[in-house]
Structure 1
Amino acid sequence: MPRKTDARARAIATAERLFRIQGYAATGLNQIIEESGSPKGSFYFHFPRGKTQLAEETIDLYLANRAAVFRHISANTTGDAPNFFHQIFGAIAAEMIVDDFQYGCLMQNLANELSVLDAELTKRVARGFVDLTEIVAEHLRGCGFAAARASSSAAALVAAIEGARTIARVERAPVVFEALADIFCQRCL
Structure 2
Amino acid sequence: MALLTEAAKLFRRQGYAATGTNEILAAAGAPRGSLYYYFPGGKEEIGTRAIEAAAKRVTLTLRALAEESADPADFVDRYVAKLTGWMAKSGWRDGCPITTVLLENAPGSAAITAVGREAHERWRREVETMLLRHGWPGDRAPATARTILMTIGGAQIHARVAASPAPLEDCAAELRHLLADSDPSEF
TM-score calculated relative to the size of structure 2: 0.91
CA RMSD of aligned residues (A): 1.3
Residue by residue over 1:100-150, the C-alpha shift from the partner in whole angstroms, topping out at 9 and shown as x without a partner, is 100122321122111253122111111111110110011001111101322
**Secondary structure in structure 1 of the residue aligned to 2:16:** coil
One-letter code aligned to 2:101? L
| Structure 2 Cα separation of the partners of residues 67 and 87 of structure 1 | 15
Deviation of 1:85 (Å): 1.2
Structure 1 distance, partners of 2:139, 2:111, is: 29
Corresponding residue for residue 121 of structure 1: 112
In the alignment, is residue 33 of structure 1 matched against residue 41 of structure 2? no
Q: What is the rounded CA distance, in whole Å, between the counterparts of 2:134 and 2:168 in structure 1?
A: 21
1:76 matched to 2:94? The reply is no
SS of 2:88's equivalent in the other structure is: helix
Q: Which residue identity lines up with residue 58 of structure 1 in the other structure?
A: A
The one-letter code of the counterpart of 2:80 is F
Give the aligned partner of residue 50 of structure 2: 58
**CA deviations over 1:156-182 (Å, ceiling 9, x no partner):** 111112211110011111111121112
Equivalence map 1:40-55=2 (5 Å): 40-55=32-47
The aligned length equals 180
Deviation digits for residues 67-92 of structure 1 (CA, Å, limit 9, x no counterpart)? 11101101111x51121111011111
Mapped to 2, the partners of 1:152 and 1:115 lie a distance apart of 22
Is residue 2:129 matched to residue 1:171? no
Match of 2:176 in 1: 185
Which amino acid counterpart does residue 99 of structure 1 have in structure 2? S
Q: Does 1:21 align with 2:4?
A: no
CA separation in 2, counterparts of 1:88 and 1:151?
18
Instruction: Find out whether 1:137 has 2:135 as its counterpart.
Output: no
SS at match of 1:27: coil
Please give the secondary structure, in 2, of the residue aligned with 1:124: helix
Q: 1:85 matched to which residue of 2? A: 76
TM-score, normalisation: structure 1: 0.90
TM-superposition CA deviations, 1:44-85 (whole Å, max 9, x none): 2111221122112111110010011101101111x5112111
Instruction: Tell me if the contact between 1:110 and 1:122 (Cα under 8 Å) persists in the aligned partners.
Output: no
| Partner-residue secondary structure (3-state), 2:139 | helix
Q: Aligned partners of 2:138 and 2:101: how far apart in 1? A: 30
Gap runs ≥5 in structure 1 = 1-8
Unaligned runs of 5+ in 2: 182-187
- Aligned-residue sequence identity (percent) comes to 26
Indicate conservation of the 8 Å contact 2:47/2:101, yes or no: no
Paired with 1:83 and 1:116, the residues of 2 have a C-alpha distance of: 35
